[in-house]
Amino acid sequence: MGFLGLHYRLERKTMSLAIGIIIAASIGGLIEIVPLFTIHQTVEDAPDMRVYTPLEIAGRNIYIREGCYACHSQMIRTLRDEVERYGPYSLAVESKYDHPMLWGSKRTGPDIARLGGKYSDEWHVKHLINPRDVVPESVMPPYAYLTRAKVRVDDLGLHLAALRKVGVPYTDEMIANASNDAYGQTSPDTPFAEGVTKRYGEATNVRAFDGQPGEPTEMDALVAYLQILGKLTDAAHKAKTAAAGE
Amino acid sequence: MIAQLTKSERQLALIILLALTICGLAMAIAGRQDPLGVHGAIVMLAGIAGIFGVIYVYYEPEPDEARLALYYDDPTKVAIILAMIWAVLGMFIGDWVAWQLVFPNLTFDASWSSFGRIRPAHTSAVIFGFGGNALIGTSLYVLQRTSRARLPDQISPWFVLLGYNLFCVLAATGYLMGVTQSKEYAEPEWYADLLLVIVWVVYFIIYLRTLARRKEPHIYVANWYYMAFILVVAILHTVNNLAMPVSFGHAKSYSAFSGVQDAMTQWWYGHNAVAFFLTAGFLGMMYYYLPVRAGRPIYSYRMSIISFWGITFMYMWAGSHHLHYTALPQWVQTLGMTFSVMLLVPSWASAGNALLTLNGAWYKVRDDATLRFMMVAAVFYGLTTFEGSFMAIRSVNSLSHYTDWTVGHVHAGALGWVAMITFGSIYASVPWLWKRERMYSPALVEWHFWLAVAGLFTYVFAMWNSGIIQGLMWRTYNDSGTLSYSFIETVVAMKPYYVARAIGGLLFLAGAVVGSYNIWMTIRTAGQPVDARAADLPVTQPAGVPALQPGE
């Protein structure tokens, strides 16, 4: 019996057809996705990699809420012009703690995988309030309302706990102090600030990102997130130096 | 329409709606500090409105047994109307976001109206609102005709249709409030995803139960595609949306996957949402409506089989072509590229099968705008799948990725293939469903056709130009070996194409408005109902005559 004869019989049986569809459609995903979890080289090692602070998580969630990923990628490809325009190409490990990843698929605006530290906080605040004040030809929407909205900090412990459940190594201490740390990161002259650097490292940015100390605004959170982009680990810069040295 | 339900079905409807109302209330209470509360209120209101609707007709007489000798088309009728409402809404938002790239202050200083929030509202409204309703409506219609059997009951199709639309409403309103998972084309949060899973299971059960009652020994090819659409979308949706909610009182959840694994899972989903939602489902539509409208049998049974299994097997490998030159391991990129190129074979088998079916009926394509919609759809299906295979090649992708070329490609598929086959199928079904001889105005169908074609070409050419120009500008070096253009210079260069794209979108939207008016007038116009399809009945079983057995 040929292929057509077989099919002639198959298409008369609902369940066989359904099971056939499921099997045919499952193979590709199984072969391409499962090994990404099991092959160790898929994600590089980066011992210096730190997790996002609670304020940066809040900022990242604002970035997601506003759909920034629709116009900005966070994935520098291994192409000469991209490396020269944006910096060392992105490594898998750099988004290891990104649930979900924000690699993006469209650059209506530039890639921002290495935005952290490139501009001052003042520039970011001005730019977010009205992009055309600093880049006259920009087509980005204005986000002035972020300066007025207070960021919700009381539930950040729950956010960190949920992230721990999906694999981000937050400690009990980080989860218990999440709300205070969010406050501390924008209030350098308060006792809360110390806890932030203790738990997340001396290099953590602790300052009033929107220029106004006190209760963190959504602007504080978003700018804190933008200033950490590409800065969670040095792995990409080290890889570049290593490659140049060979 | 609710009066068509039997007493026990009305009671079941009340129980389901009561359960929905209680769920909504629980969400509203648990999420009172969160956008989840607003969604709870929406769910609760939907439930209460439904309860009132059922109670209103609760004591009306039950429908007579004669209905069982007819196909059950009420859900299809409502699905078509909903599809057109979502089409106009989704295309309107789409054109609005297009103009925002020309005039960035068109957000009117509000948070809900910025590009990042209404762009997913546009994509979801057109893909899931317009496309999904069209698929549900036509699939139920086609399933009954090709099985020569009535749907098994009158509740489950409504559950699927209305539950699905509730999902769409939660999705669209969620984006405006900033509720999103940020996974493209899978943005709705966990509770909306759970609702869709339940709806989808019932949808598949309708398929199984109706096919079990069929009087045709073979399952028609359109149903293979509709089944692949239902089954594979269920797999994709479930895996890609695995996530940990912050709490039961939060809309927000965190994806189970991160980084490179998340990227691969997302584009395995994303590309196959295109394959099984926007391709397989609509191929099901094409395999029924195009031959029926043309009055010709499908050209080749063999090509149908090759195409079906080729698409079902190979598409699932292709997603990684969205991640060329990224941190995804190269072996996965290469597999994705290879399968994407091979996919041209089954894709063109279907496109060719459709066009060869029209042999002997080309004079009808000339005279009948409805059939012409379907013909253009088949042509654009062929063009877009060719373009897709081409763009999946690594070196081509290095230029096209991140640019408007991708946007143009998507719209060649969405406007040229998906919308065209849908409009053709809707124009064919509306007179059949409402027992009219023809559409209210064939001239307006012509108008819609030419507006749609003009809009489609304007849009796609604008995006080809902007995409390729921007991609080239990004990689242009000057004599001293440094990059020639700053990023903002490449943005400025896009402006004329963004204007052209927005005009193209406006033309396409105008066509959809004309079409909606025409459909509405066809439904509304008084006059003697003409039953053009008198023989359009399922097989009934007169007393004493044994039912047709499979294989007879």
- Assign 3-class secondary structure to A134-197: HCCCCCCCCCHHHHCCECCCCCHHHHHHHHHHCCCCCCHHHHHCHHHHHHHHCCCCCHHHHHHH
Q: What is the pLDDT of residues B497-515, one digit of tens each?
A: 999 999 999 999 999 999 9
In a mutational test of the A interface, the residue from B34, B115, B338, B474 whose CB has the highest number of chain A CBs within 10 Å is B115
Residues of chain B found within 8 Å of residue A96, distances taken between Cβ atoms: 258-259
Closest CA to A85 of B477, B259, B395, B404: B477
Q: What is the distance between the terminal CA atoms of chain A, rounded to a whole angstrom?
A: 61
CB of B253 within 8 Å of a chain A CB? The answer is: yes
**Inter-chain touch B325–A77, beta carbons under 8 Å:** yes
Q: Containing H/E element for B519?
A: helix B495-524
**ipTM score over 0.90, yes or no:** yes
Residue written as token pair 């979890």:
A37
Give the DSSP letter of residue A230: T
What chain B residue is nearest to A139 in terms of C-alpha separation? Answer: B104
Q: Which positions 464-523 of B are in contact with A (Cβ < 8 Å)?
A: 474-475, 477, 482-483, 487-488, 491-492
pLDDT at B255 over 90: yes
Please give chain A's pLDDT, 246 residues, in tens.
Answer: 578 888 999 999 999 999 999 999 999 999 999 999 999 999 999 999 999 999 999 999 999 999 999 999 999 999 999 999 999 999 999 999 999 999 999 999 999 999 999 999 999 999 999 999 999 999 999 999 999 999 999 999 999 999 999 999 999 999 999 999 999 999 998 999 999 999 999 999 999 999 988 789 999 999 999 999 999 999 999 877 777 665
pLDDT at B541 over 90: no
Mean pLDDT of B331-356: 97
In a mutational test of the A interface, the residue from B96, B106, B124, B182 whose CB has the highest number of chain A CBs within 10 Å is B182
CB of B237 within 8 Å of a chain A CB? The answer is: no
pLDDT of B487 = 97
Helix (H, G, I), strand (E, B) or coil at B253: strand
In a mutational test of the A interface, the residue from B93, B223, B260, B328 whose CB has the highest number of chain A CBs within 10 Å is B260
Write out the two tokens for B291: 């031959």
Could you tell me how far CA A237 lies from the centroid of its own chain?
A: 18
pLDDT of A238 = 87
What chain A residue is nearest to B222 in terms of C-alpha separation? Answer: A11
**Inter-chain touch B254–A166, beta carbons under 8 Å:** yes
Ramachandran quadrant class, A205 (left: phi over 0; alpha: psi -120 to 50; beta: rest): beta
Pinpoint the alpha helices (H) of B295-441: 301-314, 330-342, 344-357, 362-367, 369-391, 394-400, 404-411, 420-433
CA distances from B15 to A86, B10, B45, B51 (A): 58, 9, 15, 9
Mean pLDDT of B67-75: 94
**Inter-chain touch A106–B182, beta carbons under 8 Å:** no
Q: Using a cut of 0.80, tell me whether the model's pTM lies above it.
A: yes
Give the DSSP letter of residue B390: H
Task: Using the CB atoms, write b or e for B81-92: b if 16+ within 10 Å.
Answer: bbbbbbbbbbbb
**Inter-chain touch B259–A96, beta carbons under 8 Å:** yes
**Inter-chain touch B326–A39, beta carbons under 8 Å:** no
pLDDT of B64 = 87
What chain A residue is nearest to B220 in terms of C-alpha separation? Answer: A11
pLDDT band at B530 (very low <50, low <70, confident <90, very high): low
pLDDT of A241 = 78
**Inter-chain touch B261–A108, beta carbons under 8 Å:** no
**Inter-chain touch B477–A81, beta carbons under 8 Å:** yes
pLDDT of A5 = 87
**Inter-chain touch B260–A39, beta carbons under 8 Å:** no
**Inter-chain touch A25–B178, beta carbons under 8 Å:** no
Percent helix, strand and coil across chain B, each rounded to 5?
Answer: 70, 0, 25
pLDDT of B280 = 96
Q: Who among A79, A92, A165 is closest to B327 (CB)?
A: A92
- ∠ CA B182-A165-B333 to the nearest 5 degrees? 50
Q: How much is the mean pLDDT over chain B?
A: 94
Write out the two tokens for B403: 């640019």
pLDDT of B551 = 40
**Bond prior to A216 in cis (omega within 30° of 0):** no
Q: B204 and B230 in contact (C-beta within 8 Å)?
A: yes
What chain A residue is nearest to B174 in terms of C-alpha separation? Answer: A65
Helix (H, G, I), strand (E, B) or coil at B483: strand
Mean pLDDT of B87-112: 95
CB of B201 within 8 Å of a chain A CB? The answer is: no
Q: Who among B117, B247, B256 is closest to A67 (CB)?
A: B117
**Inter-chain touch A99–B398, beta carbons under 8 Å:** no
pLDDT of B508 = 98
Percent of chain B with pLDDT over 70: 95
What chain A residue is nearest to B97 in terms of C-alpha separation? Answer: A141
Return d(Cα A166, Cα A181) in angstroms, integer.
21
pLDDT of B535 = 60
pLDDT of B58 = 93
pLDDT of B1 = 78
Closest approach of B474 to chain A, Cα-based (Å): 7
Closest approach of B236 to chain A, Cα-based (Å): 10
Provide the Cα torsion B407, B410, B412, B414; round to 10°.
Answer: -130
Q: B449 and B424 in contact (C-beta within 8 Å)?
A: no
**Inter-chain touch A37–B313, beta carbons under 8 Å:** no
Closest CA to B426 of B350, B349, B514, B355: B514
- A5 contacts: CB under 8 Å, gap ≥ 6: none
CB of B340 within 8 Å of a chain A CB? The answer is: no
CB of B178 within 8 Å of a chain A CB? The answer is: yes
Write out the two tokens for B99: 């103009």
Give the DSSP letter of residue B414: I
pLDDT of A4 = 84
Pinpoint the alpha helices (H) of chain A: 3-10, 14-38, 54-65, 80-86, 121-129, 131-134, 156-165, 172-176, 178-185, 191-200, 218-226, 235-245
Q: What is the pLDDT of residues B468-500, one digit of tens each?
A: 999 999 999 999 999 999 999 999 999 999 999
In a mutational test of the A interface, the residue from B32, B242, B402 whose CB has the highest number of chain A CBs within 10 Å is B402
Domain range B71-526, CATH class: mainly alpha
Residues of chain A found within 8 Å of residue B232, distances taken between Cβ atoms: 21-22, 25
- B315 contacts: CB under 8 Å, gap ≥ 6: A25, A28, B271, B272, B275, B276, B279, B339, B343
Residues of chain B found within 8 Å of residue A101, distances taken between Cβ atoms: 258-260, 262-263, 266
CB of B242 within 8 Å of a chain A CB? The answer is: no
Q: B237 and B186 in contact (C-beta within 8 Å)?
A: yes
CB of B183 within 8 Å of a chain A CB? The answer is: yes
Q: Who among A33, A111, A158 is closest to B264 (CB)?
A: A33
Residues of chain A found within 8 Å of residue B268, distances taken between Cβ atoms: 28-29, 32-33
Q: What is the distance between the terminal CA atoms of chain B, rounded to a whole angstrom?
A: 36
Closest approach of A13 to chain B, Cα-based (Å): 8
Mean pLDDT of B439-468: 97
Give the DSSP letter of residue B548: P
Residue written as token pair 């991708």:
B406
What chain A residue is nearest to B332 in terms of C-alpha separation? Answer: A32
Residues of chain A found within 8 Å of residue B208, distances taken between Cβ atoms: 14-15, 18
CA-CA-CA-CA torsion sign (B212, B214, B216, B220)? negative
Percent of chain B with pLDDT over 90: 92
